[in-house]
Amino acid sequence: MGFFTKTATLAAASCLAATLMLTTAHAADKKINIGWTAWSDAEAVTKLAKKVLEDRMGYKVEMTMADIGIQYQGIATGKLDAMLMSWQPLTHKPYLDKVRQDVVDLGPMYTRAKLGWVVPSYIPESELKSIEDLKKPEVKQKLGSKIQGIDPGAGLMQASEKALKDYGLTDYQLISASDAAMLSGVERAERRKDWIVATAWSPHWMFAKSELRYLDDPKGSLGGLESVNKLVRKGFYQEQPEAYEFLGRMVLPLADVEAIMFEAQNSSYEKAVDNYIAKNPDRIEYWVTGQMKTAG
């Protein structure tokens, strides 16, 4: 073998090695860390995004569970790449106001979300229809002067504290608990036909399982319709343009979110997500490629 042949062979080998290294490095760079909290709606959409990003787009997605305030800070500081559960304009306003200049908003994941206080439908509306009715001595006695809440860091809990003040209900106790504990409290009250008021939000599978109604909120303390948006860190687009564009296109009807959540209660979120992907190939294709199927 001549000198030039050896040189060409070595050069080709070096080129191949460099290509393999670049390919490996590129694959290693396709990592995303998404923050989430153990709320049913957040688990549904985050696991759906993870599944599509990994199976269709070759990403490795890590889900980091954290308090909602920590997630906002994580996006702002770059420790997290994304979060898919920013409730706007009211619920998460205190968190978003602190970091608004340091995050990128990709728009709604879904709309027509709602926060409020709910009661089982067997409680007569003639006795308890509005938050104002909680002032009635007989209502207060039946409720034990308690409102069943969720985790203390949630925006819903902050809004609920405000509602207690707005309606002059400062002698009520807002009980902090996990989402699961709140649901257990509602189920236990239903079995006994006890009175209970619980913090709640839509979408949530609890409305498919239980007959519940929102209490009227004439002062608007708990807000109106909300949009649940996707936030990413600054620089995410430059480093992960495909994932950025995917998340920008990922929008679901509220009914679809609730359907995934409800199905997951009888199986798992993973199975419910798999079924949703199988039943909605055109929507998933658009999220991934940006191409819409044409009629005809």
pLDDT tens for 89-130 read 988 999 999 999 999 999 999 999 999 999 999 999 999 999
Give the global pTM. 0.75
* pLDDT-derived band at 278, boundaries 50, 70, 90: very high
Q: Is the pLDDT of residue 142 over 50?
A: yes
User: How many C-beta atoms surround the C-beta of residue 146 within 10 A?
Assistant: 16
pLDDT at residue 55 in the model: 98
Residues 6+ apart with CB under 8 A from 182: 148, 149, 150, 198, 199
Cα(212)–Cα(200) distance, rounded to whole angstroms? 10
Give me the sign of the Cα torsion angle 84, 90, 92, 94.
positive
User: How many C-beta atoms surround the C-beta of residue 68 within 10 A?
Assistant: 23
User: How many C-beta atoms surround the C-beta of residue 151 within 10 A?
Assistant: 18
Residues 6+ apart with CB under 8 A from 222: 115, 116, 117, 156, 159, 160, 163
Q: Based on DSSP, count helices (H) and strands (E) in the chain, helices before strands.
A: 13, 9
User: How many C-beta atoms surround the C-beta of residue 13 within 10 A?
Assistant: 10
What is the tens place of the pLDDT at every residue in 3-27? 334 444 444 444 444 444 433 334 4
Q: Is 64 helix (H, G, I), strand (E, B) or coil?
A: strand
- Arithmetic mean of pLDDT over the chain: 90
* pLDDT-derived band at 251, boundaries 50, 70, 90: very high
| Range 44-67 burial, b when 16+ CB lie within 10 A, else e | bbbbbbbbbbeeebebebeeeebe
Q: What are phi and psi of 65, to 5 degrees?
A: -80, 130
Least confident stretch, 51-55, 90-94, 133-137: 90-94
